[in-house]
Structure 1
C-alpha cells in the first residue's frame, strides 16, 4: 500500500484492491475484489483511468447508461455509499465490463481511418460513477482476457498507477 494510486492488499486467499478517494467526505478509500477470482478464469483485472472509462461508457448506445451522481435520488446515493464503505465486512466486487472498437463519427471514421472505444458495463456502473464523483482517478475493472489489450489501449491508467497494483511481497 505504498502508492497513493491503487494497490493490492492480500486478504486471506484473494487480493483486495484499495482505491483512494481524495474528494470523498465519508471515507478516504474503498476496497474491491475480483468478480472471477477462481484459478483458471479467463478474465483479467485492468487498471483503468476513470475519465477515459466513462467517456467510452457514455458512447454505449445498447446498454443502460446512468445519469451523473448529482442527479440520483438521495436513497440511491446513500445506498451505494453504504455498500462501498470500507468498514463493511463484505468486500464489493470490482466492475465487470466489455469493450469494443467502432468507427468514430465524422469523415475519418466513415472512411475507416478513425476508431473509438466503447465500454459496456455488465456489473458495477453505479459503483464506477460514484467512485469517479468521489475523486477516484483509477480503479480496477475485470474484463474477459480477449478484450484486456483493447481495454488497456482505450482506457488504461498511466504506468505509475498500473505499477501500484503489484502485490507487496512483504505483506504475505
Structure 2
C-alpha cells in the first residue's frame, strides 16, 4: 500500500472494473491525537460486525443507484479525494454459559464516519485499508485488526 503523509492508496481486486485503486485523504492530519493504522479489511469488518452500531446491509442488497453513487464518489478520476474512515475500538467481555465458562473478549469497531466506504472497499476486494484512529487506541487496532 503506497502512501504519502496525506494520501493513502488502497488496492482493489483486479475484478473491480471501474478502477483498480482508491486514493484516500487523511481527515485530520494536523491533529496529533489521531493516527493512521493500516488494517486487514477482513479482520476489521469482522470487528465492525461484532458491534451493535447501526448495521449496514450487505452491499449486494443495496440499490444499484446507491452502489453506483458510492463507486463514483470513490473514483480517482472523479476529482474529489474521499477521506479515510475514522473509527474507534473497544474490547467487550461476553459472558458464556451463564458464567460457567470463562468470558470471551471481542473487539468492537464503531465509526465516526466511513462505514459505507469501508463496506464498499470490502466489496471491491481491498485486502488492506487505512483508518484514522485515536492515538491511544492504536495498540488495540494493531492487536485485533492487522
- Alignment map for 1:71-150 (pairs within 5 Å): 71-104=61-94, 106-107=96-97, 113-150=103-140
| RMSD of Structure 2 on Structure 1 (CA) | 1.9
Where in structure 2 are there 5+ consecutive unaligned residues?
none
Where in structure 1 are there 5+ consecutive unaligned residues?
1-5, 157-172
TM-score (norm 2): 0.91
Instruction: State the 4+ residue runs in structure 1 displaced beyond 3 angstroms.
Output: 107-113
Aligned partners of 1:109, 1:45: CA distance in 2, in Å?
37
SS of match in other structure, 2:77: coil
Aligned residues: 145
Q: Name 2:22's counterpart in structure 1.
A: 30
- After superposition, the Cα gap between the structure-2 partners of 1:73 and 1:106, relative to the gap in structure 1 and judged at 3 Å, is same
Q: CA deviation at 1:121?
A: 1.1
Deviations 1:11-69 (A, max 9, x none): xxx5211111123111000000111111x4200000111111111101111x2120110
1:7 aligns to 2:2 (yes or no) = yes
Aligned partners of 2:21, 2:67: CA distance in 1, in Å?
16
Deviations 1:93-128 (A, max 9, x none): 000001000113524987655311000011001111
- Alignment map for 1:145-160 (pairs within 5 Å): 145-156=135-146
- After superposition, the Cα gap between the structure-2 partners of 1:44 and 1:26, relative to the gap in structure 1 and judged at 3 Å, is same
Structure with more of its chain in strand, by fraction? 2
Aligned partners of 2:67, 2:29: CA distance in 1, in Å?
28
Aligned partners of 2:105, 2:78: CA distance in 1, in Å?
41
1:45 aligns to 2:36 (yes or no) = yes
Q: Name 1:56's counterpart in structure 2.
A: 47
Aligned partners of 2:103, 2:117: CA distance in 1, in Å?
34
